[in-house]
Structure formats: structure tokens, C-alpha cells
Chains A and B, each alone.
Chain A
């Protein structure tokens, strides 16, 4: 998927001739918005003066398309505080009550869809999994660093997906039983070994926290390597496939780039021991003496 900004006259709009008079319209909107923002600001200041407990959030804003938002900035919102409130709750509140153009991904609200990884008070975390009560205020919410920003808190995930796919993230075996009702058994220990690696929710926090990934966009990166680990260590795939997998992660921009800084392991919301997985693959590769480049 591309991230280009559509031209004024998008060819997919079959209503030819009906060009949208967007600019003046946009200007008017933006003026309205500015007025509203002013009102909201007053309202939230009044709020802050009342008994009601509020939390102040500072949210990164940017939209390549809208004049006035092309210069990145931070917007401040006062959100009424409730016990148990998460960072995701606060941005949802700000969007629903103050500014409907505030943009971020989210869906499950339970740390399983992986779509709301943000840079919260200087660290990669899932918005829905982070309790406000645990944070210093004002809470600063930014898009994941080292990823291109599409708009506000939304980053471009394409390169992450590409790296994920580069490690062939799918089960490959020649040993599945022919009988459609017979299981390809796996012993408990082996399942236990790969278990953590299967938990990845593709949130990209680890990639965003990794200095090496930031400087080398071809480096496979922690989540993809851990994905490779999950399959390489799965005994059901067999020896040959394991060699094949080790070859993939051993390439020039593979495991040897990792400098064991542990930043990925520290931020992973699913507690996946990424650095450990990477180290173990290095050991495995050395054991097999598989240096090809």
C-alpha cells in the first residue's frame, strides 16, 4: 500500500468534471476548528479549576494534507480521569469530545490486535495496556519513532510487514500425516520452547526501539528474527527446513547485526525474550557453521 497523497483530481473518481473546491472549503473548516479549539481550551481550563480530577495529555499532530497541520506540533487536552483509565481511553476521549480529526489506530482494547503501539512518555507501549495512573503527567503521546508518520499517531507499517514476510513466516513441513484426521504430534517441551515466539502481535514496538533497525532499513529486526526462531525451533518442520531458515536469518542484514542492546526485549508488550531468541539463533548458526557471505 502506498502512502501518497491523492491528487486533487483523483482518476478513480468517476464523477469527472466535479472537481472538489477543497482549498477554500478547507480554510473555512480550519478557521472553525481553530475557534472550537479555543473554546475547548477554555472549557478544559475551567475543568482543571473544578474538583473533577483531570489528566493532561500532549498529543503529536501532523497531517501532510491539511494546511496548518503540515508543521508537526503537540496539542494539549484535559481528559476527566477515571480509575482504571488507559492511555488509549484518553485519546479516544479527546477525539470523541474535542477533536474528531485526532487520528490513531486501535481496535481490540485488550493488547491482542497490536495496532495502538505509541511512544508514550518516551517509551514504546500499547495505549490500551498502559494505565494512566502509572505515568507522570502530562502524558506525552507520540507516534512510534523511526517509522514514517502518515498522520498524527498513525505510522506507515509497510516496511515492518515486508521484513516480517522476508523470513517466510509460515509453517513448512513435509511430514504432515496424509490422514486428514491424524495429528502431527508435537511434544510438550517443544511447544514450550516456541511458545513465547508465537505470541507476537505485530505491533512493531521492538523495531521502533532498535537502534540498529533505525540505521539499517534492511536489517531484519527483532520481531522477524523471533518469528524465524519460532519456526526454526519447531521440530515438526524438520532438519532441512531448519537449515533453510538459518540461512535466511544469517544473511548480511540478519542476526549478526544485533548488538544485544536489549531495547526490543524491554519494550515488547508480550514479554517475548527477543534478544535471547536472537542469541540462540546465532549459536545455532555457529553450531551448523552456516556462514554464507
Chain B
């Protein structure tokens, strides 16, 4: 068994920052990651990091913009923490050598981004994420922090108390992708999940193939609630054939959207008469699809994004990467022709419920980055607000897990006096297949026979040992089964129904259809098997385990979307065309109660440090 003070699962921006912070506090910290750190998806971020660095700007303005952008579903304590800490965390990156773009006077450059009242998006060309990821990894190398790379974490080692709030996390179980060795990892102080977004739930996504929602699904099954899962951001400018992202920086620099008739539709069709192309992402995404649906799309599929008028020099200086992306992945030269773009799944606003210190309701378990929901983005994330989230909350979680006192968190996790139990009418039963928890199929499913030693509180090492044993059984089962269905078929089915039914525009019937399809996939999953007999680099096995996580994540997204009968931020419902503040100024939470998802709500916190954010009508 491997043993450390703090274990960080995932080595993207959030995980790396957490590990560095823990190391600085003197903790023995290790990163466990299924990809080598520099392969993490943070490297794909293009546009930039929001931080109030200049005269004329302030963290308060940043907080106000963020609250407004969230459509009043962000929690003020989290948003204020984000905006207060972002400047020093961003400059910290600069002190670590991150090659930001520079102004004439040598200061870091900033540019305008959608939904921001000040040009506060700090960037490094159009490859900000690449530089952020590499700069952080460099610091990890410098400090000699232990990295278990290409180790896939497949289970959390959590005690079995019937009350999730009394459960404790003592470590994880993972397998070495290269050799197939399965091992227990004990964490003396805490486990920090930083596993990134769940984009692979959809088939047209800007996310990497490895973004499979592993963290949220594992935490969910261990009793931690998933929060606000219905809020999925669809980015308005992705390349039609691959989902590759064309940064918002293009519109920030003055790029223009045209429909097939050459109309600048954001203005001419009144979608956002003030901000035009720089309206919030949800607004632009819906506008584009409306253009296509009403017959004004190019090839009935997309619209055009034009940056030619910016001139070669400016494009090369600030958006060079975009030229490469459009050329390599769509065969289009952005200097001489407009680029085809359409909306694609991009970001999950929801995730594992945490407080401002990254703590979840299970003690010893933390979550940060895109897999978490500390609730800074509410129902719609502003461009450039995810990267500061990684470094701000990554650093806080790393410190807190190492035992540093950060003060009492204001956001409460788990059920409180204000909790309201929810109900939603589903066409099929969601959650685990209760065919009998002890049978072999439940094992395949990751189900864990709970009988052993129930009632006795085991030693932490024993908790890890038990989880290891259960995981070995599951893996052996998947490997030894000879026939059945393969994960690739299920994955395609799940992704298709999500893209068809839980997309930018959502209807009640569509959401119900998605739940039926997910149920079918879940049933078929009972019969899944791994065809590759080898223990060496068995990606078939890895993808099969990921598939189970996709099922739970997809279901949580859809259940939340069905429950929320209003239109807020990125969540559009055909039957409900209004934001309903009287009913819905609250977060959606889903808990896995012995395999049955339980729906409940908690109110949004609109009270900040010294002001309360009053919901206003969004207008662009």
C-alpha cells in the first residue's frame, strides 16, 4: 500500500495547484493521475484568466459581473473568494515564469471577454491553458513532488456509516495503466479530487476523451451530493467536424458572427443589441442555433465567425493558435476566409458539492476544479473564470487538507435546516439496478457487497484494504467475463441521446427520453465485458470503468434538468420560458442513497461580505 499525507487525484491545473500548496505547507503529497500531468485537459484552454489587476478595476466589479453572469445562482462567499484571490494567484503564476502576453511596459496583457465590465482577461497568446499547465507542472518537478502518472483511480476508500455525513475518506484504489497492478493508496490527511470535466457524456464536445466524470461519479456513489448538474455550458464557437474550440478571444478581439445571408445576426436579429458577439455564451449559443433552425445557417448546420478584418499582424500576435486550429482541424485559413462554428458542449457548472475550502460532506474528501461545484459559476460560467477557479480553490484545498486553518467556511455542505426535499416525475426508475446486490453483475457495476464487518468501525488501513479487495473482484470479473456487450457501443448510445435530448434546447419529452435511454444503457452495462485479455496498458478495461461513471453523470445531469422547470442561464426549457426566482433561487442536489438518487435543494447565498446581490433581469 502506498501512503501519503495528502493524495491529489488528477493533475490538471486544479490538481497541480493543490499539490504545490500542500507541499508548501510541509505535507507529504502525491499526485495520482490517469494521464501524465502535461497531457491534462487544462492544456487546451485558450482564452485566459480573469483577475482584477489594474487601476479602474476591482475584485468587487469582478464579483458583480460573475454573480450577474451566473444568473444569480452562484454563492456569494465562493464568488467573492474567487475574485479576491485571483489577482495574487495569477501573479503567483507570473512569478513562477508563466509566459503571459505582455504590454509595452512589460506588464501582463489583458483583454475583453464576454460578460465582463472591464477587460480583465489575462492571457498567454491563445494558449493560456497550455502555459498554465506547464508552469504548474514545472513547479511540481522543481519541488520533487511524487507523481503516479498513468495510474487510474477507480474507487474511493470510504467508511460505511449509514449517514454519509459521518463517513470518512481514507484513500483510494487505483491501477497502474502500464502494468495492470492494482494498489491501495492511503491518505493520512485527505484526498483531493481534481478529475476535470465530464464532457464525454456528449458526442459533440470541446473536452478531451479522458474527461469522463470519474471524480463526481465516484464521490456520488460514496455518498457526496452532486450539485447543479443540469447546468452545462455549450460554447458558441466550436468547429463543426471535431468540436475543437475557437476561443472567445476571437470575439473579444473583435471577431464577428454572420449567418448565411451575411447578416450580423447578434445585432440584426436582436439577440443582444448592446453586447452583440460579446453577450454571454448561453445567449450566443442559442442565437446561433435559432439562426440554423430558422433556415439561416450555413449548410443548415453552422454560422460563420470572421476575424479577417482584424488584420494579419494582430491575429498572429494574439490569436495565432486559432489559425492553426482552423487550418489543421477544419481545413480553413482564418486569414482569408471566415471560420465555420457551432455550439458544442464545453463546461460543467455543476459537480461535487464543496465549500470554499474545497471540503465535501465526507470528512477527508475534497474536490476542486471543474469536477467540483463550489458554486462560483451558478447557471452560466463567464469565459476566463474557470482557470482562476483552479488556482484559487486548488491552493485553498491543498492548504486545508494539509491542516492549515483557513477559517470556518460560510457555505455549508450536506443537508441543513434550509434543505427542501424535491420530487421529480421520471418515466423510469433512476439509479442502481437492484437485481440483488450480491450477485456478480453488481460486482461488475462497481457495486460493493456491504456485509463485511458492518457495524464495526475499521482502522483506516483496513478501509483501504477492503476497497482494494472489492476493486480486485470487480476488475477480475470484468476481465474474466467472456461475452456480453462492449463499452464502445454503450458509450455511443449514451452520447447520442444526451446530444439529442439534453442539449442547448431542452423539452420535457426529450429529457424523459434521455432518462429512458440512460436506463437502457445502465441495464446493458450489467452485461459489459472487457475483451482485451492483457493486463498491460488495457485501455479497454479503463474505458469500461469510465463508462459506468458516464452513466451516473449523464443521469444526474438529466434528472436535474427535468426537475428545474424554469429558464436560467444555460438551462433553457421549452415549457418554461422565464427565470422563476420565487421558486428557483436554489441549488439542485442529488444524493446516492443506497443506489437510489435522492433529490433535494438548498438556497443560493446572495449575501456577500458587505453587500447582498439583488437579482436583476439579464439584458444584453
Query: CB within 8 A of A10: which of B92, B94, B148, B181?
Result: B181
Binds B, one of A22-30, A44-52, A259-267, A277-285: A22-30
Partner of B331, one of A65, A84, A187: A84
Looking at B421-429, B530-538, B567-575, the stretch in contact with chain A turns out to be: B530-538
Q: Find B539's partner among A29, A103, A185, A191 (CB 8 Å cutoff).
A: A103
A179 to B514, CA, bound (A): 53
B556: min CB distance to chain A, Å: 23
Query: Which residues of chain B come closer than 8 Å to A10, judged between CB atoms?
Result: 181-182
User: Could you say which residues of chain A place their CB within 8 Å of the CB of B363?
Assistant: none
Query: Which residue of A28, A109, A183, A202 contacts B208 across the interface (Cβ within 8 Å)?
Result: A109
Query: In the complex, which of the residues A25, A112, A199 contacts B480, with contact meaning CB atoms closer than 8 Å?
Result: A25
| Residue B465 at the chain A interface, CB threshold 8 Å | yes
Whether, in the assembled complex, A292 has its beta carbon less than 8 Å from a beta carbon of chain B, the answer is no
Q: Is B35 part of the contact surface with A, judged by Cβ < 8 Å? A: yes
Q: Per-position contact with B for A179-205: 1 when CB-CB < 8 Å, else 0?
A: 011111111100100110011011000
B115 within 8 A of A: no
Interface residue? A236 (CB, 8 A): yes
Taking a contact as CB atoms under 8 Å apart, the answer to whether A6 and B208 are in contact is no
In the complex, how many angstroms separate the beta carbon of A232 from the nearest chain B beta carbon? 13
Check: A63 CB closer than 8 A to any chain B CB. yes
Whole-angstrom CA separation of A23 from B308 in the bound complex = 62
In contact, A188 and B480 (Cβ under 8 angstroms)? no
| Set of chain A residues within 8 Å of B135, measured between Cβ atoms | 171
B473 at the interface (CB under 8 A from A): yes
Cross-chain contact B141 with A199 (CB below 8 angstroms): no
- B99 CB contact (under 8 Å) in A83, A104, A195: A195
Min Cβ gap A151→B in Å is 5
Q: Can you name the residue of chain B whose Cβ is closest to the Cβ of A96?
A: B488
B125: chain A residues at CB < 8 Å are 195
- A176–B595 Cα gap in the complex (Å)? 52
Interface-lining segment among A11-19, A73-81, A214-222, A250-258: A11-19
Nearest chain B residue, comparing its CB with the CB of A270? B324
Bound state CA distance, A65 and B180, in angstroms? 11
Determine which of A6, A26, A100 lies in contact with B540 in the assembled complex, contact meaning CB atoms within 8 Å: A100
A150 at the interface (CB under 8 A from B): yes
User: Quick check: B486 and A171 within 8 Å, CB to CB?
Assistant: no
Task: From A2, A95, A151, A188, give the contact of B104 (CB < 8 A).
Answer: A188
Q: A12-B182, A100-B540 are in contact. Are A107 and B41 (CB under 8 A)?
A: yes
* B131 neighbours in A (Cβ, 8 Å): 198
B538: min CB distance to chain A, Å: 8
Please tell me which one of the listed residues B38, B101, B492 contacts residue A114 in the complex, with CB atoms under 8 A apart. B38
Instruction: Tell yes or no: A66 within 8 A of B by CB.
Output: yes
CA distance A10 to B475 in the complex (A): 14
- Closest approach, in angstroms, between the C-beta of B173 and any C-beta of chain A? 10
Give, as a whole number of angstroms, the nearest-CB distance from B10 to chain A. 13
Interface string of B69-82 (1 = CB under 8 A from A): 00000000000000
- CB-contacts of A163-178 with B (<8 A): 165, 168-173, 176-177
The reply to whether B473 and A107 form a contact with Cβ atoms under 8 Å apart is no
B131 (CB) vs chain A CBs: closest residue? A198
Chain B residues with CB under 8 A of A20 = 476, 480
Identify the stretch in B105-113, B393-401, B451-459, B519-527 within 8 Å (CB) of chain A at 4 or more residues: B105-113
**Is B39 a contact partner of A113 (Cβ separation < 8 A)?**
yes
Assembly CA distance A150 to B328 (angstroms): 29
Closest residue of chain A to B149 (Cβ to Cβ) is A1
Instruction: Select one of B127, B178, B532 contacting A1, CB under 8 A.
Output: B178
| A144 contacts the other chain (CB 8 A) | no
A115–B536 CA distance with the chains assembled, in angstroms: 18
Known: A14-B469, A25-B533. A171 touches B242 (CB 8 A): no
Question: Are A28 and B482 closer than 8 Å at their CB atoms?
Answer: yes
B410 CB to closest chain A CB (Å) equals: 24
CB neighbours (8 Å) of A171 from chain B are 96-97, 135, 138
Which residues of chain B from 377 to 430 have a CB within 8 Å of any chain A CB?
none
Give the interface size class of chain B.
35 or more
Contact in complex: B472, A15 (CB < 8 Å): yes
Cβ-defined contact, B469 with A5, below 8 A: no
Q: Which residues of A have CB within 8 Å of B537?
A: 103, 150-152, 154
Q: How far is the CB of A240 from chain B (nearest CB, A)?
A: 16
Q: Indicate if B159 sits at the interface (CB-CB under 8 A).
A: no
**Interface membership of B598, Cβ < 8 A:** no
Cβ-based interface call for B252 (8 A)? no
Give complex CA distance A151, B538 in Å: 9
Q: When chains A and B are docked, how far (Å) is the Cα of A129 from the Cα of B326? A: 11
| With A113-B39, A171-B138 as contacts: A185 and B488 at CB distance below 8 Å | no
Given A63-B536, A108-B44, also A181-B88 (CB < 8 A): yes
Complex interface bits, B177-220 against A, C-beta within 8 A gives 1, otherwise 0: 01111110000000000000000000000001110000000000
A22 to B92, CA, bound (A): 52
Counting chain B CB atoms within 10 Å of each CB, which of A5, A15, A112, A172 scores highest?
A: A112
Q: Note all chain A residues with C-beta closer than 8 A to B103.
A: 188
Nearest residue in A to B473 (C-beta to C-beta)?
A15
Let me know if B150 is at the binding interface, CB within 8 A.
yes
Contact A112 B35 (CB under 8 A): no
- Which chain A residues lie closer than 8 Å to B209 at the CB level? 106-109
Q: How distant is A17 from chain B, measured CB to nearest CB, in Å? A: 12
Q: Which listed residue (A33, A100, A184, A202) contacts B94, Cβ 8 A?
A: A184
**Given contacts A26-B533, A195-B99, A201-B130, are A111 and B324 in contact (CB under 8 A)?**
yes
Q: Could you say which of A65, A97, A165, A172 contacts B535, with CB atoms under 8 Å apart?
A: A65
Contact (Cβ within 8 A) B540 A150: no
Chain A residues whose CB sits within 8 angstroms of the CB of B330 once the complex forms: 84
Q: Which of A206-262 contact B (CB under 8 A)?
A: 231, 234, 236
* B87 contacts A by Cβ under 8 Å: yes
Q: Does A110 contact B (CB under 8 A)?
A: yes
**Structural contact, A201 and B43, CB atoms closer than 8 A:** yes
B267 close to chain A: CB less than 8 A: no
User: B99 contacts A3, CB within 8 Å?
Assistant: no
Bound-state Cα–Cα, A30 to B245, Å: 41
The minimal Cβ–Cβ distance linking B41 to chain A, given in whole angstroms, is 6
**A57-76: contact bitstring with B at CB < 8 Å (1 yes, 0 no)?**
00000011110010000000
Q: List chain B residues, Cβ under 8 A from A105.
A: 39
Considering the chains assembled together, what is the distance between the CA atoms of A112 and B131 in angstroms? 11
Q: Which residues of A contact B107 (CB under 8 A)?
A: 183, 185
CA distance A32 to B241 in the complex (A): 35
A113 touches B43 (CB 8 A): yes
Residues of B within 8 Å of A234, CB to CB, are 97
The answer to whether the Cβ of A137 comes within 8 Å of any Cβ in the partner chain is no
B229 to chain A, nearest CB (A): 23
Quote the shortest CB–CB distance from A99 to chain B (angstroms): 8
Chain B, 468-485, contact with A by CB distance < 8 Å: what is the 0/1 string? 110011001000101000
A22 to B536, CA, bound (A): 14
Knowing A13-B182, A64-B536, A110-B325 are in contact, say whether A181-B104 is a contact too (CB < 8 A). Answer: no
Query: Out of B41, B141, B468, which one reaches A14, CB within 8 Å?
Result: B468
Residues of B within 8 A of A184 (CB): 94-95
Q: Please, what's the 1-or-0 string for B114-142, where 1 marks a CB less than 8 Å from any CB in chain A?
A: 00000000000101001100110011011
The chain B residue sitting closest to A66, CB to CB, is B534
Please, how many angstroms separate the alpha-carbon atoms of A198 and B100 in the complex? 11
Residues in B neighbouring A22, C-beta threshold 8 A: 533
Q: When the two chains form their complex, are residues B96 and A6 in contact, meaning their CB atoms are under 8 A apart?
A: no
A198 in contact with B134 (CB, 8 Å): yes
**In this assembly, does A131 line the interface, its C-beta being within 8 Å of a C-beta of chain B?**
yes
CB-based closest 7 A-B pairs:
A171-B97, A185-B106, A101-B532, A170-B138, A96-B488, A170-B142, A84-B241
Residue pairs across A and B with Cβ atoms less than 8 A apart, 20 shown, are A1-B148, A1-B176, A3-B178, A13-B472, A14-B468, A25-B533, A29-B531, A65-B535, A66-B534, A86-B329, A100-B540, A113-B38, A113-B43, A150-B537, A170-B138, A173-B95, A176-B95, A185-B107, A187-B106, A234-B97
Known: A1-B178, A96-B492, A202-B36. 11 other contacts (CB 8 A): A1-B150, A100-B530, A101-B538, A108-B41, A110-B245, A110-B325, A113-B40, A115-B36, A150-B537, A180-B92, A194-B99
